[in-house]
Amino acid sequence: MKSDKPLNRVEQLFNVSLNDVQNIVKAFHLEMKRGLSGRKSSLKMIPTYVDRPTGNENGKFIALDFGGTNFRILELELKGGRKTNPLKIMKFVLNKRLIKGTANDFFGFIAGCLKNFLEKRKVGIGEERNLGFTFSFPVKQTGTAAGTLVCWTKGFSVKGVMGKDVVGLLSEALARKGITNVKISALVNDTVGTLAAESYEDQNCDIGIILGTGTNACYVEELPNITKWHGPETRTNRMIVNIEWGNFNKLRLTSYDKRLDKASDNPGQQILEKMVSGMYLGEVARLVLIDLISKYLLFSDSGTGIFNKTGSFKTEHMSIIEDDESGDLTSIRTLLKKLNIPKSTLDERRTIKKTCEIVSLRGARVSAACLAAIITKMDPDLFRYHMVAIDGSVYEKHPSFSRNMKSCLQEIFGARSSRIKMVLAKDGSGKGAAVIAAVAASMQY
């Protein structure tokens, strides 16, 4: 590399200092309070109509876990006493035509998959089941099992769904398929499901986070603090609130973030998500790398490979790159060859690795700052123990994301950070939907 100065400049641009973290916490608190009161806010703060499970729920429940093009249907038996029987799972895939098609085709396909699941599981027409519907898109919840789609994310643009009750649309599709023994008893966000699944087994769990293709968070709020809430009280006078934190926009944007946002399907929206989620991290890194290439600091002899193509560099690529600790960075060299860059120098591979580390470190620190804001909203002096259930490929598979989040929390809270335990809640959204279905089935609204 001719000079380290361009990369140093990138590092400065993406740096999130402790002072920056503290400013994010303050801004996040303000947006939370505004959202809870019903005022204009980048955080929707959506009441979910349900509290955490008691751990004593029992029975067989079905979950439809729909978070993207890959979705799952599963059955879970709750035994009470915070115990469950193993999940029975089937996986399905939506094609691109459906995610940009019509509501009838979209929900009809999902209903058909459920019919297939019931037949394979030999759930007879006389066996009634309550179903929790995990729908991992921004929804304005209007009841335990009712909610209208606010906007599509993750590249979806199904026609005839925006502003409609997604439970109603699915119920109509079930009826068309002749499925009469399944009642959709709860509409669940995947983050809420993650919280519910973990809190069924550990009552200290009060925050759920998704850090995967998309990102979101939820937490347990005191009902009197949800001043826009005009419904009935819950068992504990608390309620899970779906923050929809991916839309948080009080963040400092680099020129690369602005370019990504402008070229996206939803300019000006989901700003936090575009900094921390698996759908966008790779693209942010690609924009930095293509800038370095344009300055003749990378690949002068090999061309640009696929880096000139939007979306070609994935977050999974970043994980492979950052995980390479070999002296010659051989895994990075092998990956670059697959990306149509046959030749690379060690300095170039080091530059690529450093670039990825810079981008992912910012994502982890911003995520940790927003988590710190949620915790201090609930517990300003961090007196209590908090378990944070986190699901998603970025948190699970990226080699340093979780470690960098933990390090940032230690910077913020010092020794008190030991009262925060982040746990990987793998497959939490599906299991949690079944748990929430059980909670909802026992409630009367």
Contact 285, 261 (CB under 8 A): no
Does the active-site annotation cover 154? yes
Rounded Cα distance, 65 and 95, in Å: 17
Of 63, 352, 81, the residue nearest 187 (C-alpha): 63
Q: Render the burial of 42-52: b for 16+ CB within 10 Å, e for the rest.
A: bbbbbbbbbbb
Q: Name, in order, each residue with C-beta under 8 angstroms of 414's C-beta and a sequence gap of 6 or more.
A: none
Contact 87, 96 (CB under 8 A): no
218 bridge partner residues: 208, 242
Q: Name, in order, each residue with C-beta under 8 angstroms of 123's C-beta and a sequence gap of 6 or more.
A: 75, 129, 181
Q: Which two tokens stand for residue 289?
A: 């790398």
Contact 363, 276 (CB under 8 A): yes
> Which entry of 44, 154, 177, 431 is annotated as an active-site residue?
154
Count CB neighbours of 79 within 10 A. Answer: 12
Q: Render the burial of 298-317: b for 16+ CB within 10 Å, e for the rest.
A: bbeebebbebeeeebbbbbb
> Which entry of 190, 206, 257, 324 is annotated as an active-site residue?
190
Radius of gyration (C-alpha) of the chain in whole angstroms: 22
Q: Name, in order, each residue with C-beta under 8 angstroms of 332's C-beta and a sequence gap of 6 or more.
A: 320, 321, 324, 344, 349, 352, 353
Does the active-site annotation cover 190? yes
Of 43, 65, 23, the residue nearest 247 (C-alpha): 43
Angle (CA) 411 376 30, round 5°: 110
Question: Could you give the residue numbers annotated as active site?
Answer: 154, 190
